[in-house]
Amino acid sequence: MRLLALALGLLSLAGCEHRGVAPAGPKVAFLLSTLQEERYQKDQRYFEAQAGRLGLAAFTLAADNDNAKQLAQVEDALSRGAKVLVVQPTDSAAAAAYVSKAHEKGAKVVAYDRGIAGDALDYYVAHDSHEVGVLQAKAALGATGGKGNYVLLNGQSGHSVAMEIARGYMDVLGPSVDKGDVKIVVQKDHDSWSPEQALKTVEDAIAKTGGDIAAILANNSGMARGAVQAVQAGGLAAKKIFIAGADADAANVNYVCEGKQSVEVLKDIKPLAEKAAEVAAALALGKPVPGGSAGPGKVPVAAVAVHLVTAANVKVLLIDSGFHAANALPACAK
């Protein structure tokens, strides 16, 4: 019997599918780019729990960052009668085709975490990525006295989140760049938001400037880790180069408490996933979306707030809130 139970359990996981717990209501598909990282397992858990509370029958499919696989999963979800697709696209441009397919079947599409090209999309739920860039850039100017050489580590080229964070950088840094107080010595995109590529970019920037770098702004935590490694290995720890990341990964938060990194930006997953479930429920049940707003012809957007993380507020923002367990942040307990 134990072997039979194990076999049935394995079969239920085949195809990267994870079913929700509320089978009676309208079907909603949560289509994630990947479940290979811990962060996205949280997205799934919070989304499905909230969807269940709202009377939806939610199921999750993950595409392993494969465009063709995600397209097949869209078709699969529609064939099952999903009324709403909540999609974290593997490719924002390619995902425009998902919207057309869904509308042909009478289903709605909500872009999740990343934008989907075109204006036919029914809703977009994401963290306020522009504000991520603004928070990092303002903190950098404050820490550096508004002067010096800056390195900007952008995410995947063409990625909606990376573009919005970069826009936030320049909205804040632009006047200082124009005056010549801040010089952007390197600004580079990185495939798959790669920490290894970011490390190499910072190594090259160190070589290019002879180590004369005031600030490094990274679109995510992984690339910020690459920056920290490059600075530490380059013997520049004593210079206290300002380094910013986003996502508040535990390793980076420990770096902040150790003084190896300056700030992180918290993009809390629970409110993002729960907001997406609320939007999906409203669309599936034909009700107004709570707090929804958009001008004529524009895609409605729900922008979830982000928060700057420093050594001083780690306990309140990350530990007391349950985002990280205290034992995951040993450097912050000292």
Same domain, 185 and 326: yes
Same domain, 38 and 85: yes
- Give the β-pairing of 123-127 and 148-153: unpaired
Same domain, 237 and 292: no
Same domain, 263 and 281: no
pTM: predicted TM-score of the whole model, two decimal places: 0.84
- CATH number for the domain spanning 167: value is 3.40.50.2300
- Contact predicate 57/112, CB 8 Å: no
Same domain, 63 and 150: no
Same domain, 18 and 104: yes
Domain membership of residue 97 as a residue range: 2-121+269-304
User: Looking at the 3D structure of the chain, how many domains does it have?
Assistant: 2
Same domain, 15 and 139: no
Same domain, 87 and 12: yes
**Cα–Cα distance for residue pair 272/285, rounded to 1 Å:** 20
Same domain, 284 and 261: no
Taking only the tens of pLDDT, the chain with its 334 residues reads: 444 344 434 333 334 454 444 457 999 999 999 898 778 899 999 999 999 999 999 999 999 989 999 999 999 999 999 999 999 999 889 999 999 999 999 999 999 999 999 889 999 999 999 999 999 999 999 999 999 999 999 998 888 899 999 999 999 999 999 999 999 999 999 998 999 999 999 999 999 999 999 999 999 999 999 999 999 999 999 999 999 999 999 999 999 999 999 999 999 999 999 999 999 999 999 998 876 554 445 899 999 999 999 999 999 999 999 999 999 999 998 7
Spatial strand order of the sheet with 17-19 comes to 17-19, 57-62, 27-32, 84-87, 108-112, 123-127, 301-304
Same domain, 92 and 147: no
Same domain, 82 and 176: no
Same domain, 59 and 138: no
